[in-house]
Amino acid sequence: MMTLFFTTLLFISSAFANSLNVKLDGEFVIEMKEEDLKKSNTQVVEFYNFVTKKSEPYKGVRLRELFKKVFTGPHNIVEVEFISKNGFKSYISLDQARLGDPILAFERADGEKFVRYSQKEKALVDLGPYYVVWNLKNVPLPQQPFYSSIYQVVGVNLITSSMNFGIDSKESNESIELGARTYKRYCLSCHALNGTGGDLGVSLLKFQVLKEKGANYIKQYALDPLKSNPRTKMLPLPAFKNREAMAQGLVDFLAFVEDPKHTLREAEKLPNKKRYLLLKALLEDAKAK
């Protein structure tokens, strides 16, 4: 009897192991089962892997088609968050996602194993349950490296308000804005900020890393993590032409959000009172943590 119980439990667990949870602003909307996804209009896409420098064929479902079935009414989606089973979270604007036309892949189309080499784990990793790749035909070549693949995806969260950390061009400079964009794209997935983001790394704001370690440490770590910490799994900033400016931007952005007095002085110049109050609440909450 006990054997039958555990066999049934294993069957139930397996049945839902490859489901995709869809959320709207963090609230659960629907669970899409693997068998239902595979019944959708699947397609094959050739995705160029910038790590292996090879084109790889994957079979999957266009996210755009899936969401048309789920969200029939009007929703002001501005960002998309992909959630991996290890807690990694990757953010991309809706406009960028539309241009990249993401594919939720569930297998290789050439019969090869559904694995890839991970720079973080320094080993082959299983890509399942789902692997987000991109159809880059309409993406200009200089922008294509921005569309990195995301493996072991278990959920997608559609966001209706942009996470700009209370920053806009009226109350900051170009370096802070670049730092905010860089942080959201390459840091937030592991280093949460005010409760938003992944939890694979320490909270840089909570532990005031910039204040404790200094600007040069932050820049060096962003550009060459292994030199600062040989055991780290963090990847360096991409080899874009402006990567030095991106690293400096991270320092300026962290300084902006780490120093409440400076931030509030800047925020008080804003004509938009609501934005000022939101920023004040963010900083007070961060201090409390």
- Segment 106-150, tens digit of pLDDT: 999 999 999 988 877 778 899 999 999 999 888 888 888 778 889
Average pLDDT, the chain: 80
Look at residue 2 in the predicted model and tell me its pLDDT.
Answer: 38
Look at residue 276 in the predicted model and tell me its pLDDT.
Answer: 56
Q: Integer distance in angstroms from the first to the last C-alpha of the chain?
A: 49
> What crossing angle do the helices spanning 174-182 and 243-258 adopt, rounded to 10°?
100
- Segment 49-77, tens digit of pLDDT: 877 788 999 999 998 888 877 777 667 88
Q: How many CB atoms lie within 10 A of CB 111?
A: 7
For residue 246, report the phi and psi dihedrals to the nearest 5 degrees: -65, -40
Domain count, the chain: 2
Please tell me whether residues 136 and 191 are part of one structural domain. Answer: no
Look at residue 7 in the predicted model and tell me its pLDDT.
Answer: 36
Q: Residue 249's domain spans which residues?
A: 174-288
194: left (phi over 0), alpha (psi -120 to 50) or beta: left
Look at residue 15 in the predicted model and tell me its pLDDT.
Answer: 39
Look at residue 238 in the predicted model and tell me its pLDDT.
Answer: 83
Last residue of a domain, one of 159, 192, 208: 159
Grouping H, G, I as helix, E, B as strand and the rest as coil, residue 126 is strand
Within a domain: residue 164?
A: no
Please tell me whether residues 148 and 230 are part of one structural domain. Answer: no
- Segment 149-180, tens digit of pLDDT: 899 999 999 988 777 676 655 556 788 888 88
Grouping H, G, I as helix, E, B as strand and the rest as coil, residue 143 is helix
Residue 195 maps to which CATH number? 1.10.760
Please tell me whether residues 189 and 104 are part of one structural domain. Answer: no
Is 125 buried (19+), middle (13-18) or exposed (0-12) by CB count in 10 A? Answer: middle
DSSP 113: -
CB 75 within 8 Å of CB 112: no
Please tell me whether residues 145 and 204 are part of one structural domain. Answer: no
Within a domain: residue 229?
A: yes
Mean per-residue pLDDT for 87-102? 89
Please tell me whether residues 208 and 180 are part of one structural domain. Answer: yes
Look at residue 6 in the predicted model and tell me its pLDDT.
Answer: 33
- 38 pLDDT tier (thresholds 50, 70, 90): confident
Look at residue 12 in the predicted model and tell me its pLDDT.
Answer: 35
Within a domain: residue 260?
A: yes
Count CA atoms within 13 Å of residue 92 on its CB side.
20
Within a domain: residue 95?
A: yes
Residue that wins the pLDDT comparison between 17 and 288: 17
Look at residue 62 in the predicted model and tell me its pLDDT.
Answer: 92
Residue 216 has pLDDT above 90, yes or no: yes
The listed range with the strongest mean pLDDT (19-23, 89-93, 281-285) is 19-23
CB 155 within 8 Å of CB 20: yes
